[in-house]
Structure 1
């Protein structure tokens, strides 16, 4: 999938600003030299890039083990959704990050390799390519990538910006459960963790939600996810504590309802009744479910 870069038109927008006023809290150069390298074979840059990112966080992965998950022979490549799902299938959290050059720099500074999608062709004749950003050098004005057959590609910031912009400035970071990219937004983190929970063992999903709550303690989705995953592990007391905190913090009917159900199973019927009554009084889309819970408590 790697081709010679086509003649570039237009002008880089982010590069001049970045070079003119570099972030004061970032060093002038970073390179994650220990990042593994898997040369691309044929059109399979997706499996190679994903294997690089997964292996970099301690999940040893060979590209050939990912081909069936992320490579679409009919398209001679990998779609973004398959790349994210492929990472989750190996036990990692896959999270999109902002489409800025500074975000790429900050992630590598934090030790995170970043998978990016480039268009090495033209807008009307695309040549899609996945690579992994492993560093940058502001003095030399280039990014450092694991890309195709090149273990260490130095690509000018402006050239990278053009190819990445034509790829929609799409990028993601893989992390172990409990960690998240430095630059991720709360919205993207929520989407990533909900998707991760669908396929992850409850203990891994619980670690992921705990890590997210440490950054965003007021996120109701994270709290409910943590409570549900603790319950799935059999930790009913832990789940009750999480649901109670979420219910009181957000005055949320779903949290009160879940709290009531867990308290009932723990034999705390009076506490369960109070929680269920509060859930019913709040109304909303969970009122019928809460009313059913209250009936069970009163049986």
Structure 2
């Protein structure tokens, strides 16, 4: 009987020790010096994913998985007002749909602190005309249509500036017609909604049209009379991968950028877009 009691006490003592050990591993912070690992599933917000962009991102997803063990999931939004809100709210981890100018304007309007962590591409916009073959052929008093929203109008005016047609006030980030300081050809700048710039082409001498609307209007090299150059003025139109400010140094997110900025992505972009969309990382701006 005595031996039985001793044996039972030993058993209960062992059970007690096991419970304490299990509790330690369950609740103790950082047991045995191990570190909490970050999730390697990264959700990236995009807008209106085209077949070409889908092909590029599939390649990026494959490289991210093979090289860095990261699973990239894409969340496709229907318009440009949504991805920055979703990122700020923590509904997604990164987004990739906007250029520097759009991000700056959004942060200012929303008191945001979203931060770019990597360049993707730039899509140079073009000046189109059905009446002239070269932008230098535009006559005195020619009418040029430009998008009327703040970022795209500014971009269009800088295109005209780089073409040598107008001069703008210095150090103006978002230029308007009021910032034109010289207009030797007395050009008439017609402000229209961005989606109308292609539709009014028959009624004006030239029109600066966002790439979004070019394909639907069946415009190409034949109607192109000038292409936006890659220089300091165009830097703000480079598209970017964006994170929350507190995540700007997150190694996993930096590896997502690395998975995008590859020679394979460059070659795919060239194959799918030709000269209408150019890889922007590593580009030296004059």
- TM band (smaller chain): under 0.3
Q: More relative contact order in 1 or in 2 (CA 8 Å, sep 6+)?
A: 2
Higher strand proportion: 2
Higher helix proportion: 1
